[in-house]
Structure formats: structure tokens, C-alpha cells
């Protein structure tokens, strides 16, 4: 008996899920009678990646030809970028560390990070005029609403 899925299905018309494993999300979706969207798992973070891409498009007008650089350890957001960037015509590069972004780039750049932040980013970079962290953070509810509207388009309530 799938109690949790049934209870949530009875309580909602759509379910947003954040889980550790993709299999858990798949199992939940298979057992649910309403649409289920996995916004974050151990392998992907589509909501955060799409919100960041929306911020990039607001800044540059397109993703076509954009060089997106990811600095940091492997992460679900990186996996989502690796899937999304080629579909949108953007290039992606990633490094595990970077000493000084300002000195190493002569191009126009923006900085994106999750909220809240930890010690991994200093104030100079986080509050830099090129930071679009809060723009991406604000975009999350628009992306969630768009995903919900798109996913429920053909669903009969």
C-alpha cells in the first residue's frame, strides 16, 4: 500500500518534490495520481539551474553562444547545466577552483550562487556588482510556476 503518495495525491493537484535519489522521485511519480515534479535530487537541481539560466538570459538576452563557467566541486546544479547548455546553444566549462575571477577574465561576467551561502564565497565576490545571485533566487518562483503550468496543461482536474 502506497500511503504517502496517496495522501499527497488526495491533498494536492500537483506535487513538487526534493529528494536524495532520482529513483525515489520516479517511484513517487509512478504511485501518485497527480503530476509530480522533482525540483532537486542528488543528481540534478533543475529549479536552481533554470532560475540561473533565466538570470543569464535577462542579463545577456540569449543563451546562444554564452560561455557558462562553473567553479566548484561536482554538484547537482552542474549536472543540470551540462544537460541544459547544449540544448540552449551555450558552452559550459567547469573547474574545481578559481583564485581570482576578476584577474583571470577580461570579458563581461556575472556571478551566481545559491542562498544561503557559506564560507566558500567571500563578501567581495558575493556582493560584487556582477553578482546576479538574488536575480536567480527571485526567478525560482517564476520557473516553478512555469513548470507547474506546463506540466498541468493537459491534466484534467
**Average pLDDT of the residues of the chain:** 84
Dihedral sign computed on CA atoms, order 122, 124, 125, 126: positive
Give 58's pLDDT tier (boundaries 50, 70, 90): very high
Mean pLDDT computed over 108-116: 79
**Tens of pLDDT along 118-151?**
777 778 878 888 888 889 888 988 998 888 888 7
Look at residue 1 in the predicted model and tell me its pLDDT.
Answer: 43
Rg (Cα) of the chain, in Å, rounded? 18
**Alpha carbons within 13 A on the beta-carbon side of 10:** 6
- Structural domains in the chain, CATH included, are 3-43 (no CATH), 47-139 (3.40.50.1370)
Amino acid at each position: 500500500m502506497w500511503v504517502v503518495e496517496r495522501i499527497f495525491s488526495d491533498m494536492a493537484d500537483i506535487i513538487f518534490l526534493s529528494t536524495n535519489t532520482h529513483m525515489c522521485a520516479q517511484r513517487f511519480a509512478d504511485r501518485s495520481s497527480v503530476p509530480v515534479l522533482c525540483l532537486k535530487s542528488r543528481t540534478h537541481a533543475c529549479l536552481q539551474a533554470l532560475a540561473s539560466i533565466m538570470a543569464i538570459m535577462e542579463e545577456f538576452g540569449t543563451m546562444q553562444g554564452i560561455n557558462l563557467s562553473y567553479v566548484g566541486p561536482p554538484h547537482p546544479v552542474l549536472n543540470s547545466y551540462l544537460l541544459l547548455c547544449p540544448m540552449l546553444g551555450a558552452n559550459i566549462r567547469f573547474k574545481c577552483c578559481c583564485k581570482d575571477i576578476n584577474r583571470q577574465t577580461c570579458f563581461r561576467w556575472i556571478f551566481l550562487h545559491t542562498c544561503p551561502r557559506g564560507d566558500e564565497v567571500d563578501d567581495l565576490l558575493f556582493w560584487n556588482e556582477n553578482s546576479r545571485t538574488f536575480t536567480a533566487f527571485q526567478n525560482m518562483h517564476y520557473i516553478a510556476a512555469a513548470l507547474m503550468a506546463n506540466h498541468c496543461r493537459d491534466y484534467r482536474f
